[in-house]
Structure 1
Amino acid sequence: AYVYLPDTYAGGYTNFNRYYFAQVGKEAAIIDERYNGGGDIADYIIDYLRRPLLSYWTMREGKDITTPIEAIFGPKVMITNEMAGSGGDALPWMFRKTGIGPLIGKRTWGGLVGHYTNPADLLDGGFTGTPNLAFYNTNGAWDVENHGVPPDIEVEYDPKAVRMGHDPQLEKAVEVVMELLKKNPPPAAPLHPPYPNYQKSGAH
């Protein structure tokens, strides 16, 4: 599966819901958050990406289903670059923090601050903003702002390769996720147990 997230606001929310859940039968996923403009702290995306397989259900008709029913249980990677920031910094930070998978690409730009008031609108249509929120981690240290989130595997977006029709970062992500899929494939569904015969004495 491949899902592009342009931001962590309306566009990213729409893309994730439209494209992730349409591909829940896939074995693995690449989440591309390059150029992510931020917006909110999209922990709901992290919650869905890390959902573990809990159980199976057999049905009278059709194939067996899983709990949770809407998930991809195989490996996942995320592509980042230096133009992703704010919520686009937070998303890969949480992706790594929760151990979902490796980050591939370039360090994010390090603008993880938030503001919810705009002191003044300007005559030219712009506005000024002052940060109201600052991020710190569970160790009690300021984090991400001014230094970004570094990738686990650094890959340049080489202009020459791009002009020749390649995307080096995406190609590396495909290579890595396929290797992870070989090493850690999603769990195969076991055969369901024999159907019980409740007419027999002592059957439970």
Structure 2
Amino acid sequence: MDQPSLARFVREIFDPAMQEKEGLVLDIRGNGGGNTHDALMDILARKVYGYTQPRDGYRQTQPEHHWTKPIVLLINEESYSDAEIFPAGFHALGLGKIVGVPTPGYVIGTYSGVLVDGTRIRLPSWGWYTNDGKNMENLGIPPDIFVENAPEEVVKGKDSQLEVAIQTILKQLPLKSATESADTQKEGVGVPASANNNANGGSAGVPPPALRGGKRGSKTSGN
């Protein structure tokens, strides 16, 4: 959750191909943190309040860039620091369902400095709290839907958490016709490739497998 990852996420979510999707799965499992939670929630919480209409052009919403379709967020025991602050805000703002296992509660603001002998130190300097006053250090953010990825499933390439996240979001999408199947609908769910980038260290998350389908079902790369 660093600035390069944020820039990539912005490119991906506002890409025309992603805007055609009917739902969004955000995967921040295995994310070491950073400081992008505010920017992410600003993007995801935007509401359309009007539009502009040129004399001889297309109608354009205000704000122009927004996401108002269903979202499901994936977290796990290796979502650290800012990757815990973000789901806490995501839940507080009611942006969507959270799937996975509780985060570890490694949330504390620190100061990093260097002593005269060259030794680097890092000191706890400020705390993070929820609106109701709960200290987020050692708290852990629980999911709305608890799903574990068993080790024996992971080694086989099975990702139960992602599967449940997709099924959860599909339940929020009305069938476009009586004959449309769930597999067809799955092609309309976007999984940004930048969502579980872990540029700040920590353990890498299980990369989400590519969704079935053609262009509308593939992961976006943001490039």
TM-score (norm: length of structure 1): 0.75
Give matches, 1:64-143, under 5 Å: 64-120=59-115, 127-139=120-132, 141-143=133-135
List alignment gaps of at least 5 residues for structure 1.
1-6, 184-204
Question: Which whole-Å CA distance do the structure 2 matches of 1:149 and 1:120 have between them?
Answer: 35
SS at match of 1:71: coil
* Match 2:3 to one of 10, 15, 24: 10
- 8 Å contact kept, 1:121–1:128: no
Question: Which whole-Å CA distance do the structure 2 matches of 1:56 and 1:166 have between them?
Answer: 44
1:181 aligns to 2:176 (yes or no): no
Calculate the aligned-residue CA RMSD, in Å: 2.4
Deviation at 1:159, TM superposition (A): 2.3
- 8 Å contact kept, 1:115–1:131: yes
Worse-superposed segment, 100-109 or 54-63: 54-63
SS at match of 1:110: coil
Q: Percent identity among equivalent residues?
A: 31
Partner of 1:162: 154
Deviation at 1:105, TM superposition (A): 0.4
Distance 1:127 1:156, change over 3 A: farther
Partner of 1:34: 29
Question: Which whole-Å CA distance do the structure 2 matches of 1:16 and 1:120 have between them?
Answer: 37
- 8 Å contact kept, 1:135–1:144: yes
- 8 Å contact kept, 2:112–2:121: no
- 8 Å contact kept, 2:110–2:122: yes
- 8 Å contact kept, 1:24–1:70: no
User: Residue type of the partner of 1:168?
Assistant: S
SS at match of 1:45: helix
Partner of 1:172: 164
User: Residue type of the partner of 1:161?
Assistant: E
Question: Which whole-Å CA distance do the structure 2 matches of 1:102 and 1:120 have between them?
Answer: 45
Question: Which whole-Å CA distance do the structure 2 matches of 1:76 and 1:63 have between them?
Answer: 27
Higher relative contact order (CA 8 A, sep 6+): 2
Q: Deviations over 1:143-172 (max 9, x none)?
A: 221121010101111222223332111111
Deviation at 1:58, TM superposition (A): 4.4
- 8 Å contact kept, 1:34–1:80: yes
Question: Which whole-Å CA distance do the structure 2 matches of 1:53 and 1:11 have between them?
Answer: 27
Question: Which whole-Å CA distance do the structure 1 matches of 2:58 and 2:21 have between them?
Answer: 16
Deviation at 1:116, TM superposition (A): 2.8
Partner of 2:194: none
TM-score (norm: length of structure 2): 0.69
Q: Deviations over 1:78-137 (max 9, x none)?
A: 0001001111110000000111011100111101101133354997xx843111011123
SS at match of 2:73: strand
Worse-superposed segment, 64-73 or 74-83: 64-73
List alignment gaps of at least 5 residues for structure 2.
176-223
